[in-house]
Structure 1
Amino acid sequence: MSRSQISRRQLLRWAGTSTLAVSSAGVLGACASPGDSSTGTAAPKGATSKANPFGVANSGNLEAVIFKGGYGDAYATKVHQPLLQKAFPKLSIKHSSTPNIVETLQPRFVGGDVPDVSTLQKLDLGALIQSEALTDLTPLLDAPTVDDPDTKVRDVLAPGAIEAGTVDGKFYRLMYVQTVYGLWYDAQLFQKNGWQVPATWEAFTELAGEIKKAGMDPFGLGGKNAADYASFAILTQAGKAGGLDVLENIDNLEDGAWKEDAVIETLTAWKEFAQKYVDARYAGLMHTEAQLRQVQGKLAFYPSGSWLESEMKKDTPSGFTFAMMPVPSLTSSDALPGAAVRATAGEPFGVPAKAKNPGAGMEYLRQMVSKAGASGFTKQTGALTVVKDSYEGLTLTPGTKSAADALAAAGKDVFNVRLTEWYAPMKEELISATLALLFEDTTAAEFADRMEKKAAAVKADSSIKKFSR
Structure 2
Amino acid sequence: MSEARVAGTPADPTPNLDRRSLLRNAAAVGLVALPGAGLLSACATSGSGDSGTSGGGKKTATNPLGVKEDAPLDVVIFNGGYGDKYATEAHEPLYKKEFPKATVKHEAVTDVGKTLQPRFSSGTSVPDVVDNSGSGLMDFGALVADGQMADLTPLWDAPSVDDPNKKVRDIVVPGTVDTGSFNGKPFVLYYVSTVFGLWYSGKLFKDKGWTVPTTWDDFLKLLDDIKKAGLTPFGYAGANAAYYMWNVILTSAAKIGGPDVLKAIDNLEDGAWTAPAVKQAATAWAEVGAKYTDKAFLGLKHTDVQLQQNQYKVALYPSGDWLPNEQSKDTPSDFQYQMMPTPSVTSSDKLPANAVRATAGEGFFVPAHAPNKAGGLEYLRQMLSKKGANEFTKLTKSPAVTVGSAEGVDLGPGVNSSQAALKAAGSNVFNIFFDGWYAELDKECRTATNELFFNGGTADAFCTRMQKKADAIKADSSVTKFHR
What is the rounded CA distance, in whole Å, between the counterparts of 1:383 and 1:50 in structure 2? Answer: 31
Check whether the contact 1:64–1:117 (CA below 8 A) recurs between aligned residues: yes
Equivalent in the alignment of 1:161: 176
Question: Which residue of the partner structure matches residue 321 of structure 2?
Answer: 306
C-alpha separation in 2, matches of 1:60 and 1:458: 43
CA contact (8 A) 1:71 1:307 kept: yes
Please list, as runs of the form range in 1=range in 2, the aligned pairs for 1:123-134 lying within 5 A after superposition: 123-134=138-149
Determine which structure has the larger helix proportion and give its number: 1
Match of residue 355 from structure 2: 340
- The amino acid that maps onto 2:224 is G
Counterparts of 1:108-123 in structure 2, within 5 Å, are: 108-112=119-123, 113-121=125-133, 122-123=137-138
CA displacement, residues 373-415 of structure 1 (integer Å, 9 cap, x when unaligned): 0010011111111111111122221111111111111111111
| Higher RCO, Cα 8 Å, sep 6+ | 2
Per-residue CA deviations over 1:95-154 (Å, capped at 9, x if unaligned) read 101001110112222222310111122211221111011011011111111000011111
Residue matched to 1:17:
40
Query: 1:435 matched to which residue of 2?
Result: 450
Contact 2:47 2:146 in 1 (8 A): no
CA distance in 1, matches of 2:288, 2:383: 43
8 Å Cα contact 2:72-2:105 kept in structure 1: yes
Q: Is the CA contact (8 Å cut-off) linking 1:116 and 1:356 kept in structure 2? A: yes
Match 2:397 to one of 338, 359, 382: 382
Specify every segment of 5 or more residues in structure 1 that has no aligned partner in the other structure, as ranges: 1-5, 9-15, 35-41
Q: Does residue 143 of the first structure (1) align with residue 158 of the second (2)? A: yes
User: Is contact 1:164-1:344 (8 Å) kept?
Assistant: no
Partner residue, 1:50? 61
User: What is the aligned partner in structure 1 of residue 101 from structure 2?
Assistant: 90
CA distance in 2, matches of 1:218, 1:252: 35
Q: Contact (CA 8 Å) 1:134, 1:352: kept in 2 or not?
A: yes
Distance 2:118 2:476 in 1: 24
Displacement, 1:7? 7.5
**Secondary structure in 2 matching 1:343:** strand
Conserved? CA contact 1:223–1:435, under 8 Å: yes
Choose from 373, 378, 388 the match for 1:373: 388
In the other structure, the counterpart of 1:417 is 432
Cα RMSD after superposing both structures? 2.0
The letter for the 2-side match of 1:318 is: S
Amino acid at match of 1:419: F
Question: What's 1:81 paired with?
Answer: 92
SS at match of 1:352: coil
The CA deviation at 1:163 is: 2.4
Give the SS at the match of 1:119. Answer: strand
Runs of 4+ aligned structure 1 residues displaced above 6 Å come to 31-34
Q: 1:271 offset after TM fit, Å? A: 1.2
The secondary structure found in structure 2 opposite 1:438 is helix
| TM-aligned CA deviation for residue 190 of structure 1 | 0.6
Counterpart-to-counterpart distance in 1, 2:48 and 2:453: 47
Q: Could you tell me which amino acid in structure 1 is paired with residue 381 of structure 2?
A: R
**TM-score, with normalisation over the residues of structure 1?**
0.91
Alignment-derived partner of residue 296 in structure 1: 311
Tell me which of 96, 99, 102 is aligned to 2:113.
102
Aligned to 1:352: 367
1:155 Cα shift?
Answer: 1.3
Q: Shift in Å at residue 422 of structure 1? A: 1.0
In 2, Cα distance between the equivalents of 1:150 and 1:102?
38
One-letter code aligned to 1:119: D
Retained in 1: the 8 A contact 2:55–2:65?
no
Output one character per residue of 1:29-68: Cα deviation in whole Å (capped at 9) or x when no partner: xx8879xxxxxxx976222133211011221111011111
Separation in 2 of the partners of 1:51 and 1:390?
A: 22
The alignment of Structure 1 onto Structure 2 pairs a total of residues equal to 443
TM-score, length of structure 2 as denominator length:
0.88
Tell whether the 8 Å contact from 1:384 to 1:391 is kept in structure 2 after alignment: yes
